[in-house]
Copies of this chain bind each other. A is one copy, B any other.
Amino acid sequence: MPRIVVDVMPKPEILDPQGKAIVGALPRLGFTAFSGVRQGKRFELTVEGPVTEEILEQARNAAATMLSNPVIEDVVNVEVLPEDGAEVRADADAAEVD
């Protein structure tokens, strides 16, 4: 079934305690390449049947009103996931075998 992805991130000017804790811990594990980390949310909404423009519009609305808190978060992405998510997951699989 098709899925719509909604990505929500803390606004850049807002403190992100989560990202801060992670960026502090990464170097201790030898991951020294990253100077900053922000942690946000990813939602996958399942749709029964084809994703019409109207449904996408509903997703954008839900993203702006319910899935994000506009006072502290930005919706940074609303898009339809490739049907089986294959090409996206390829990368991930690579990551997992490491």
Tell me, yes or no, whether A66 is within 8 Å of chain B by CB: yes
Q: Check A37/B43 contact, CB under 8 A, given A63-B95, A64-B95.
A: yes
Dominant SS at the A interface? Answer: mixed
Cβ-defined contact, B39 with A42, below 8 A: yes
Residues of A within 8 A of B (CB): 1, 4, 7-9, 19, 22, 25-26, 29, 31-48, 54-55, 57-67, 70, 74-79, 85, 88-89, 91-92, 94-96, 98
A sample of 11 inter-chain contacts (CB < 8 A) reads: A26-B66, A33-B55, A34-B58, A38-B43, A39-B41, A40-B41, A75-B92, A75-B95, A77-B89, A77-B91, A78-B95
